[in-house]
Amino acid sequence: MTAEALAFLGAQPERTAIFEAVEAAVAELGESAMEVKRSQISWKAPRLFAALSLPLRVGRHWPEGALVLTFGLGRRLEHPRIFQAAEPYPGRWTHHVVLTCPGDVDGEVSAFLAEAYWFARTKGRGT
CA 5 – CA 43 distance, rounded (Å): 12
Beta-strand pair 33-36/82-89: unpaired
Helix orientation angle between 107-122 and 13-27, rounded to the nearest 10 degrees: 50
Segment 60-80 mean pLDDT: 89
Q: Give which of 45, 98, 90 is closest to 70, Cα–Cα.
A: 98
Q: Which residue type occupies 95?
A: H
pLDDT of 99 higher than 90: yes
Q: Place 127 in a pLDDT band, splitting at 50, 70 and 90.
A: very low
Q: Using the predicted structure, report yes or no on whether residue 58 has a pLDDT greater than 70.
A: no
Cα(114)–Cα(25) distance, integer angstroms: 9
Provide mean pLDDT across the span 12-17.
Answer: 92
The Cα 76–Cα 91 span in angstroms is: 9
Q: What is the mean pLDDT of the chain?
A: 90
